[in-house]
Amino acid sequence: MDLFDIIVSILGSTIRLSIPLLFTALAGLFTERAGVFDIGLEGKMLAAAFASACVAYVTGNAWLGLLGGIGVSILFSLIHGFASITNRGNQIVSGVALNFIAAGLTIVLGQAWFGQGGRTPQLPASGRFSPIILPGADAMRDVPVIGPIYANVISGNNILTYLAFLAVPLSWWVLYRTRFGLRLRAVGENPGAVDTAGISVTWLRYRAVIVAGFLCGFSGAYLSIAQSAAFIKDMSAGKGYIALAALIFAKWKPVPVMFACLLFGFLDAFANFMQGKAVPGIGEVPVQIFQALPYILTCVLLAGFIGIAHPPKAGGVPYTKER
Amino acid sequence: MSGLRIRKGKALSQHPAIELIGIDKSFGAVHANKNINLSVAKGTIHGIIGENGAGKSTLMSILYGFYQADRGEIRVDGQSVAIKDSQAAIGHGIGMVHQHFMLVENFSVLENIMLGAEGGQLLAKGRSGARAELKRLEDEYGLEVDPDAIIEDLPVGTQQRVEILKALYRGADILILDEPTGVLTPAEADHLFKVLKVLRDQGKTVILITHKLREIMAITDDVSVMRRGEMVATRKTAETTVEELAELMVGRRVLLRVEKGEPKVGKVLLSVRNLTVKDSRGVVMVDDVSFDVREGEIVGIAGVAGNGQSELLEAIAGIRKPASGEIQLDGKPIADADPARLRELGLAHIPEDRHHMGLVLKFEEYENAVLGYHRDKRYGSGALLDLNAIRADAAEKIEKYDIRPPNPRLKTANFSGGNQQKIVVAREIERDPKALIIGQPTRGVDIGAIEFIHRRIVEMRDAGKAILLVSVELDEIRSLSDRILVMFAGKVVGEKGADASEQTLGLMMAGIAA
Ligand SMILES: Nc1ncnc2c1ncn2[C@@H]1O[C@H](COP(=O)(O)OP(=O)(O)O)[C@@H](O)[C@H]1O
Ligand SMILES: [Mg+2]
């Protein structure tokens, strides 16, 4: 493989690895801009992945699988909302609890239903989102430079990938061009302003967590029925936390969120690529070093390289009027 | 909900604009409003006066639908109405400017005005209409503001203007203002009063909450007095006096002036030279400030909140590192000392915000009574505290400072603002420091405690201590200080004697005169 092929191949997997991050980070964008911390993204994604795989296996229909994932993820969101919005509980505790529940429940239910140690059975082709070959991809393949990029990076992804990139401008538009977005951003900064303007803080925040559940449904489904052909236990593998880091790195803005997710996806792809390869001048480096790169980068970036990240002011604080 | 609403043309009826009947409200154990009756006539400016904690904000927040009353009835224009949230209040033509502004700080003025009255699902649709309506309101009432400015970049006086415009934009006929002048220069307050008079003359009803007697006399038509959750009296302003209102507020006769003799000034104790301090964003907040405070004098720093006084205090108290300049205490440089070292050297600090800096509200009283001095040998040796000694000491201070209830084991949050402040004052003064720096000594403190704290400060001065006093209450600065420095935009713009007039100081505080 020459260098160019390597680059194309890394870019291709960058895209694939970024998608779950992107959906999840956008989900977090909606909750956190509304002033609700969402450490439970990981759990929602995992639960959605499991639900999607189950439904897709039973029905043999990928779209129904996606719907199942969205449904379960929204249910998790509502539990988070009930604990932290209605009952004003600690948002971090509620989120962490959901992560534990998702991790445990998916394995227990998976084992009980399918008896494969927490896996779900292999999905039939109809139960998966398969790659879509864009028109002209094959014809273009031989055009220098852009040909391979078009054929291997832009074309050949599944529908969820394209939806993820569509979700970025859409999120931006909702946040900055609609009444809902204006109110959502306001409630994350000063819920008192929203309340005294005659708008229900509770309902607004509920809508935000529901949107987040919806988006996490996509990321979960992507993991189990698009990227893979089954649910594997713990398959979210900390992506929810990385998405959260990307969100902070992007200072809670939709377009930077996309770039942050692509960056983390790239590091992941790069780590995979370096597996078992020698670094010139150093020799073979344990693969763990590369796998740790995204996390190290997260620490470094968050520790100050991005300047001060101002989170939504009311973030993490339940709205109470009576002390 | 749509943006502008046009109410049915209202024939001027004889009903009062607002009637509150038997309003009752408790927050847990605190009975904030006790069976309140109030009637506000149309087209008047009605003052509500009372000490801090009397229940004024609570009552008006109930009218605005922010809180729900436990009992009682609200009538608007003679009609009994249920106000279950602010939306309902807005619907009845009630608008409110809260004591702590309800603005989204990183939004533009226009976005803040539109919030909740956007005029449709998409922002683009309502925006131009909002802009035009805003322009009309600005012109009509002389409330200029740049619709595209971001709130956090605006001075507080302008932010308040935005709050008023917000209410007018929603079509308010009855405008409630909660302590609106606390954040304003005297000139800005005058302008506000002019605006309120214009509003009244156009038939709107204004309810003005304040604890400043002077404002009541200057602008209101009627005044109602609240004390400890009760409505104790309503008077025509023209038929009452400052003395009567003060007595109604406090429930006994009060001395409105501080009595003090001539200062006996000694050597310089606290000296500040070319001090420059930046805030956490790197903005210069204190700009090349120099002054001295001598033994036996009180130097007051006047200024509108946010002109660098807080940062100045923090720098002297060792909480914020100065960017450059020198600070000396009794000849020793202290710009690099931390607060513990400063205490050892004899500098006591009563911080501006007792909740964030002076006290740990969840601690019991006796714990706060030694906070910062807990390393003292009197309170234990080694790693262990001698709790008995600490409690005995706390009990002694409680007695001496008349802190109520007299229980060192009570959680500090359960003391009233005035008593909390006394805990801080007792702790700092009783260590017999050489110099004392004080920020907002009576913010949120009732008149009785104000009297007490002022007397203590004057006693300290007469005992030969050097005292630096920062307060946004101009009256407090004028009545306590021997010399007055005025801060504006981080600089000391001038020095005046204790006899300086309010107008002179007011102009300096606004940066107009020096
Ligand atoms: N949101 C709240 N929760 C609990 N207690 C409150 C709340 N608001 C006010 N209080 C209490 O009610 C009393 C009256 O307060 P407030 O109406 O703010 O007085 P004022 O505006 O006259 O200074 C005070 O004792 C205060 O501590
Ligand atoms: Mg108040």
Q: Which of A66-75, A285-294, B128-137, B282-291 has the highest mean pLDDT?
A: A66-75
CATH architecture of A3-302: Orthogonal Bundle (1.10)
CA dihedral A149, A152, A157, A163 (to 10 degrees): -10
Predicted confidence (pLDDT) at residue A76 exceeds the cutoff of 90: yes
- Set of chain B residues whose Cβ sits within 8 Å of the Cβ of A198: 1, 85-91, 116
Ligand 1 atom index nearest CA of B229:
14
Q: How many angstroms is it from B57 CA to the middle of ligand 2? A: 4
Q: Cβ(B293)–Cβ(B277) under 8 Å?
A: no
Inter-chain contacts counted by CB atoms under 8 A, chains A and B: 80
Query: Chain A contact for B178, CB < 8 A?
Result: no
A193: nearest CB among B27, B104, B124 = B104
Which chain B residue is nearest to residue A308, measuring alpha carbons? Answer: B281
Ligand 1 atom index nearest CA of B178:
21
Binary contact (A185, B107; C-beta < 8 A): yes
- Closest listed residue to residue B480, CA positions, set B503, B453, B507: B453
**What residues sit around ligand 2, an ion, with C-beta below 5 angstroms?**
B 57
d(CA A189, CA A183): 10
- Closest listed residue to residue B204, CA positions, set B64, B60, B44, B89: B44
Q: Which residues line ligand 1 (CB under 6 A)?
A: A 321-323; B 27, 30, 32, 50, 52-58
Cβ within 8 Å of B, A 164-193? 177-183, 185-186, 189-190, 192-193
Predicted confidence (pLDDT) at residue A2 exceeds the cutoff of 70: yes
**What pLDDT is attached to residue B254?**
63
Query: Chain A contact for B78, CB < 8 A?
Result: no
Q: How many angstroms is it from B99 CA to the middle of ligand 2? A: 7
**A297 compared with B54, residue with greater pLDDT:** B54
Which of the residues A179, A195, A319 would you substitute to probe the B interface, choosing the one with the greatest number of B C-beta atoms within 10 Å? A179
Cβ count within 10 A of residue B361: 15
CA dihedral B166, B168, B170, B172 (to 10 degrees): 130
- Residue with the smallest CA separation from ligand 1 atom 2 is A322
- Set of chain A residues whose Cβ sits within 8 Å of the Cβ of B115: 182-183, 186, 193-194, 197, 199
- Residue carrying structure tokens 């023209």: B238
Ligand 1: residue of B36, B57, B420 to mutate (most ligand atoms within 8 A of CB) is B57
**What pLDDT is attached to residue B290?**
96
Which of the residues A173, A179, A196 would you substitute to probe the B interface, choosing the one with the greatest number of B C-beta atoms within 10 Å? A196
Predicted confidence (pLDDT) at residue A1 exceeds the cutoff of 70: no
A193: nearest CB among B87, B115, B122 = B115
Binary contact (A185, B104; C-beta < 8 A): yes
Beta bridge partners of B95: B175
**What pLDDT is attached to residue B6?**
42
Q: How many angstroms is it from A286 CA to the middle of ligand 1? A: 62
Q: What is the pLDDT of residues B191-230, one digit of tens each?
A: 899 999 999 999 999 999 987 888 899 999 999 999 989 9
For residue B59, give the ligand nearest its CA. Answer: 1
- Residue with the smallest CA separation from ligand 1 atom 1 is A322
Q: What is the pLDDT of residues B408-439, one digit of tens each?
A: 999 998 887 888 999 999 999 998 999 999 99
Let me know the angle formed at the C-alpha of B345 by B344 and B351, rounded to the nearest 5 degrees: 80
Average pLDDT over residues A117-131: 91
Q: Cβ(A186)–Cβ(B115) under 8 Å?
A: yes
Question: Where does chain B hold its CATH 3.40.50.300 domain(s)?
Answer: 14-101+163-249, 258-346+433-514
Q: How distant, in Å, are the alpha carbons of A118, A122, B499 from that of B502?
A: 78, 83, 9
B103: nearest CB among A180, A190, A195 = A190
- Residue with the smallest CA separation from ligand 1 atom 24 is B53
A196: nearest CB among B28, B96, B107 = B96
Domain ranges of chain A: 3-302
Q: Cβ(B193)–Cβ(B142) under 8 Å?
A: no
CATH T-level fold of B258-346+433-514 = Rossmann fold (3.40.50)
One-character DSSP codes across B31-81: EEEEEEEEEE-TT-EEEEEE-TTSSHHHHHHHHTTSS--SEEEEEETTEEE
One-character DSSP codes across A173-238: HHHHHBHHHHHHHHHHH-HHHHHHTT--HHHHHHHHHHHHHHHHHHHHHIIIIIISSS--TTTTTT
d(CA A155, CA A134): 5
- Torsions phi, psi of B177, nearest 5? -120, 125
Binary contact (B121, A200; C-beta < 8 A): no
Let me know the angle formed at the C-alpha of B147 by B146 and B149, rounded to the nearest 5 degrees: 65
Which CATH number describes the domain made up of B14-101+163-249? 3.40.50.300
**Which segment of A225-239, A275-289, A306-320, B96-110 scores lowest on mean pLDDT?**
A275-289
Binary contact (B67, A321; C-beta < 8 A): yes
Ligand 1 atom index nearest CA of A323:
3
Closest approach of B115 to chain A, Cα-based (Å): 7
Q: Produce one character per residue of B176-209: b if its CB has 16 or more CB atoms within 10 Å, e if not.
A: bbbbbbbbbbbebbebbbebbeebbeeebbbbbb
CA dihedral A244, A299, B279, B284 (to 10 degrees): -110
Show the low-confidence residues of chain B (pLDDT under 70): 1-13, 253-256, 514
- Set of chain B residues whose Cβ sits within 8 Å of the Cβ of A304: none
Q: Which two tokens stand for residue B388?
A: 């008995």
Which of the residues B70, B104, B355 would you substitute to probe the A interface, choosing the one with the greatest number of A C-beta atoms within 10 Å? B104
Predicted confidence (pLDDT) at residue A297 exceeds the cutoff of 90: no
**A308 compared with B32, residue with greater pLDDT:** B32
- Closest listed residue to residue B483, CA positions, set B461, B452, B455: B461
**What pLDDT is attached to residue B256?**
62
Average pLDDT over residues A20-46: 97
